[in-house]
Amino acid sequence: MKFMKPKYIFFQFIFFLMLQHHLCVFYALNAEEKDERVEVASERIRLSYVDPLRCIDLLKLYGVNVGSPSQPVDQNKLPVVVLMPETKFHETVPDHTKAFPKTETDPINEILLFFDEQKPEATGRVRRIIREQIDLPARKIMIEAMVLEISSQALDELGVQWDLNPDRTGEGNFIKQKLDGSNNSLVFGSIVHPSVSSAQLDATVTNVFREFDIRLQALVEKGSAQILSRPSVLTLDNRMAYINVSEKIPVANTKFVKDYVSSVDFREIMAGIELAVRPRVNEDGTEVSLQINASVSSPVPGKDVIVKGMNDQQLAQAPTLSVREVKTYARIANDTPFIVGGLIAKDSEQAIKQVPLLGDLPLLGSLFRSKTETGLKREVIIVITPSVLPEDTPVHAGMPKDEDAFDRFGHRLFRDAYRIRSEDTFDLRYLTENQSLQRLQKVADRIVQDHAKYRTVYPYSKFSFGSVPGEDALVRRQIYEVLKRQGAADVLDAEKLIFFKPDNEVGSGFRVQFLAEYLEREAPFVMTDEGDGRAVGLCFRITRTSSEADELLREPVPELKIVDCPDEDTWRKLLLQSNAERDGAKEKQVIFLRHRKDLDRLKTSILMKKIISLNAADYILKLRNFTRGRLLRMPTIREEDVELIDADVATCFYHSELYYSALRESLQKDFVAFRRALSGTGYEVLLQ
């Protein structure tokens, strides 16, 4: 066995080191090339409640990488959040006195999120921080105020003693004492309320003000009191609400040169009511701290300043303003009136009594008349009531208290709109507060935050952002109830309803068929009040998802069939079985008409479809959007309009009656699909 010489071993060692070096360089180059192949994607995140700059600053505190709008994004630090570059052509409130302002379409409430397209899950943490910790809405507060002016005599008649009963409690302010937890009595004229605890304060004050309103109304009708203003405004927590009900009074500024007017210009002074309130809500919403600036000003009759020149000639005149102002801080319970009193003004009244005719004689007339002057004290009372609106309820309290006429069809003011009322909405807390559903919704939100592309992907879209499976059926039914109460079906003429039929002459396509003509010829029993134990079925095959070109023209053409239907139970079973899903998909939508009531249901379903179209189906068919106070755009129906019966109308027809069955079907299907989609993924543990 031969051994290598030492010099060969040395050269082999050197060669090995060089080879190792090249391999390291090769791997390093490959690593660099790999880094260069990072696919940077971006997403614009819309902020709803906070300023983008504030959002960026808060994200820094959470350790999120923040880039500069003027520098390229560092790929090694992804994900990176960047503030949107400023636009030079944007004014929050453009100055209308200037030339037409230049604007850009770039929104100012968005930030940019850059991330590795191969690792979209890394952005989930950023989205969650923004949504759950930063971009949070402020509490909504309704501020209701009443400003009234009462003479001192009317105050006695009203019977209000704003302070505590001195016989029991001594001096002090009622509202302040009650909030401090003291047990003192409130004297309201002859009505004496016994000592109450702070827990009973709301009920006590409510009763007091109910009686107060009754007496005040009587004084207003007599002319002894005047309600100057009763404004209300919706504001947010820690945001100033400002109400100004004033008039501008022009005052002349004159310059004189030897009793002659050399120039005149005008300035304006404000007289009226100014109220600025800044509320701050405590954590549980039971108490509100208020910063109040209130001012009431008015011209004083007979107190104008008059400037006279030679020969008693009047040269200028300016009014004297009575200004009553209060600035204070208060801490009161939610929905509790807070009274600001003591804004007193003193006026004088002159009464002249004279003997008829003789009192008007020159020189001697003063012997036959007398003049008396009495002081009149007027007090301005301001009652402020803050109401914290719950986050899970709509802003119905802030809606104007319209008469019924404003919501009727054909009214000039709200001709094409209807405001959803409390009686139009179902109590669905049994569904929305279900713990299993809430758990699935939270997981869906987490997935959508991590993978933005899943926002519109089934089954995640059925649960994310507060969505509820089957909610479209519930909303359709609620719309149906609105139309039913309004008698909306009466505006549609059954003679103008059409559907399509096959064109047998050409062999392809379809022709128009009036429903009334078909019923008169084939099924006249539908036009009667009771029917004859049969029903007409209009079956629409769902083909819009098909990839076959020939299938596109089949869906608008229904299959017509007359079936036995002796009673309502049979009708419901036919409707349920015919509209059920097959193999997890909706294959057909069927309408069954027995008598005139079903024909009215059909007309109402046509209006339902039009309403959904006018209000955007992806918006209005959400329970979170169909709430009290919302405005529904309503269709305008003309006599000459012809209305089409199609598969979408059939869906509305089905949901108008069997909405609960549709809800149950969707819940079962979507629950199973969602849990199956999570099986074997890292999100499955979140369901436990």
Q: What average pLDDT is seen over the chain?
A: 77
**CA-to-CA distance for 645 and 556, rounded, in angstroms?**
9
Tokens found for residue 464:
């994310």
> Is residue 204 over pLDDT 50?
no
Retrieve residue 342's tokens.
Answer: 């003591």
Given the structure tokens 């068919």, which residue do they identify? 621
Q: How many CB atoms lie within 10 A of CB 54?
A: 12
Find the mean pLDDT for residues 302-308: 73
Please state, in angstroms and as integers, the Cα–Cα distance from residue 242 to each residue in 125, 238, 371, 449, 491, following that order. 39, 13, 45, 38, 44
Q: What is the pLDDT of residue 317?
A: 74
> Taken in order 107, 113, 116, 122, is the CA torsion positive or negative?
negative
Is the previous residue joined to 231 through a cis bond, with omega within 30 degrees of 0? no
Report cis status (omega within 30 of 0) of the bond before 459. yes
Say which residue the tokens 């301005």 belong to.
380
Antiparallel, parallel or unpaired: β 65-67 and 314-318: unpaired
Mention every residue, 6+ apart, whose C-beta is less than 8 A from residue 268: 248, 249, 250, 251
Contact of 478 with 426, CB cutoff 8 Å? yes
Categorize the per-residue pLDDT at 555 as very low, low, confident or very high, splitting at 50, 70 and 90: confident
Tokens 């802030």: give the residue.
398
Question: Are 613 and 632 within 8 A, CB to CB?
Answer: no
pLDDT digits (tens, 9 = 90+) for 628-674: 878 888 888 877 889 999 999 999 999 999 999 999 999 999 999 99
d(CA 186, CA 161): 8
Whether residue 328 is predicted with pLDDT greater than 90 in this model: the reply is no
Q: What is the mean pLDDT of residues 493-514?
A: 83
Pairwise CA distance, residues 494 & 593, whole Å: 13
- Give the pLDDT band of residue 547 (cuts 50, 70, 90): confident
Give pLDDT tens digits for 593-604: 999 999 999 999
Extract the runs of DSSP E, i.e. beta strands, from 282-406: 287-299, 305-308, 314-318, 321-333, 338-354, 369-389
E strand or H helix at 140, and its extent?
Answer: strand 140-151
Contact 327, 295 (CB under 8 A): no
Lowest mean pLDDT among 8-17, 72-81, 458-467: 8-17
Query: Residue 653 has what pLDDT?
Result: 97
**If pLDDT is split at 50, 70 and 90, which confidence band does 91 have?**
low
d(CA 43, CA 110): 10
**Could you give the CA distance from residue 41 to residue 685 in angstroms, rounded to a whole number?**
29
Six-digit token string for 178: 């009650």
Quote the crossing angle between the two packed helices 647-657 and 471-486, to the nearest 10°: 80
Whether 612 contacts 520, CB under 8 Å:
no
Look at residue 280 in the predicted model and tell me its pLDDT.
93
How confident is the model at residue 596, as a pLDDT? 94
